[in-house]
Amino acid sequence: MEADVREATKGKAATPDSAKNVLLLGSGVLITSETQIRRLKEAGLNDVTIDTSKGKDSDAGVAVQQPVAVPQERRKKSLPGGRKVEYKEELKKARATKEVVKNQLKEALGDIAIGGSMDRKKLDAGAKLITTSVLNNVDAMVGLTRLKEHDPYTANHCINVTIITLAVALADGIDEETAQILATATLLHDIGKTKVPLEVLNKPGRFEPHELNEMRKHTTYGRDVLYDMPGVTEEMMLIATQHHEMLNGKGYPNNLMGDEIHRFGQMTAIADVYDALTSARVYKPAMPPHFALGRIYQNKNIEFNGDLVDLFVKTLGLYPVGSLVQLDTNEVGVVAEPNPDNFRQPKVGCFITRYKKFRQFPYLVDLANDPQENRKIVKVLNPSKYKIDVDKMIKMCTG
């Protein structure tokens, strides 16, 4: 049987009651395995809507040509390139946007931690601001994810994960309306951390096994917090519960495998690991973005969906903003601006000249527009070996 299951009749598939106990398929997901069918049956669904235009009809039951709550069109429409506004122009707005949304989210998560409720209007407004900026110029917002900050409920991390997930999802072809829904849900992906004891959540060192166990519970805590929240969406439940699941079944909390994990859960998992790897902790330095990208790529089709990893690498570029690179002339610089047309040729803010002289004010080399020398990146370096402020360098290059 191959059918397009969108919603259970009478909306059963999306009800918190069923989603609380069993992770369901997302709307519009094509059924391709017996496991998916089993999970739907286990969720107590007696019937589903089959869109016969998407696959084989079923002998049993009646195909109902009904409008559904989550339109299939959401994933069909592709947005053009994601770059409506020039990089530098959007970067200035994106910086301000990220700051505003971060402060709102910090406040909202803090309220939930003390038993308050979420200001949905503010959350939706924040998600809209981020979505609009990513739609204007995906590179500008993605570049800002390199800015890390540790706050109690990881609001900054939640925004970074939202930006990267959105960027991948847009490359995957979702439309603007779905992008907004996805952004709202991803901002809340770690909402369960508000229920993890602070001494565990803020422990500076590595976790003991029992602490790790408690920390991992944030996925199920998240589901419980959302369950009580008015206006909860299916996407919120899915992402909060599934963002630590891995394709090979070695994730948590439910050891889901392959397409048992919703595509949005699979996207968020990639973004989440990338932001964690590139963040410094007391017990580990931040991994440079290029190497974090490599780590994720190595786990393509093992922990992470291969197609989504390809989109992720394409979106971030081979040398994400902030990467320290050496050119074939021995000049050394920081990747200051990506090149969406050729990810091997970003703009590099060089601070070490070919004569090994250090420059306090970097000079910009556009590798895509270098007809005289046609310079190339030959090596990625570890910034910890250079006494430079990467963010300051980028700012000096991009204004």
CB of 268 to Fe ion, least distance (A): 8
- Residues 101-140 contacting Fe ion, CB under 5 A: none
CA 263 to chain CA centroid, nearest Å: 12
Stretch that binds Fe ion, among 1-9, 38-46, 268-276, 358-366 (CB under 5 A): 268-276
Backbone angles phi, psi at 6, to 5 degrees: -105, -60
**What dihedral angle (degrees, nearest 10) is formed by the CA atoms of 198, 202, 203, 206?**
120
Quick one: 125 or 277, whose CB is closer to Fe ion? 277
- Judged by CB under 5 A, the number of residues near Fe ion is 2
Report the distance separating Cα 273 and Cα 219, nearest Å.
15
Pick between residue 272 and residue 337 the one whose CB is nearest to Fe ion.
272
> Which ranges in the chain belong to alpha helices (H)?
16-21, 34-42, 87-113, 120-136, 138-144, 155-171, 176-187, 198-201, 209-216, 218-227, 234-242, 263-277, 289-298, 306-316, 390-398
Residue number, 91 or 293, with CB nearest to Fe ion: 293
The least CB distance from residue 36 to Fe ion, in Å, is 24
Residue owning tokens 């495998």 = 257
The residue (of 90 and 190) whose beta carbon lies closer to Fe ion is 190
Question: Residue 17 CB, nearest distance to Fe ion (Å)?
Answer: 24
| Whole-angstrom distance, CA of residue 396 vs CA of residue 154 | 28
In the complex, minimum distance from the CB of residue 190 to Fe ion, in angstroms, rounded to a whole number: 4
Binding residues among 180-239 for Fe ion as defined by CB under 5 A: 190
Question: Would you say 305 or 398 has its CB closer to Fe ion?
Answer: 305
Nearer to Fe ion, 51 or 272 (CB): 272
Contacts for 205 with CB less than 8 Å, ≥ 6 apart: 282, 283
- By CB under 5 A, which span of 41-49, 113-121, 271-279, 309-317 interacts with Fe ion? 271-279
SS3 breakdown of the chain: % helix, strand, coil, rounded to 5? 50, 10, 40
Q: 51, 214, 234, 272: which one contacts Fe ion (CB under 5 A)? A: 272
Q: What part of residues 307-366 is at the interface with Fe ion (CB under 5 A)? A: none
Instruction: Give the shortest CB-16-to-Fe ion separation in angstroms.
Output: 20
List, in order, residues 6 or more apart from 233 with CB less than 8 Å away. 181, 184, 185
Please tell me the distance from the alpha carbon of residue 326 to that of residue 322, in angstroms, as a whole number. 13
Nearer to Fe ion, 144 or 397 (CB): 144
For the bound state, the minimum distance from the C-beta of residue 290 to Fe ion, rounded and expressed in Å, comes to: 21
Which chain residues interact with Fe ion by CB under 5 A? 190, 272
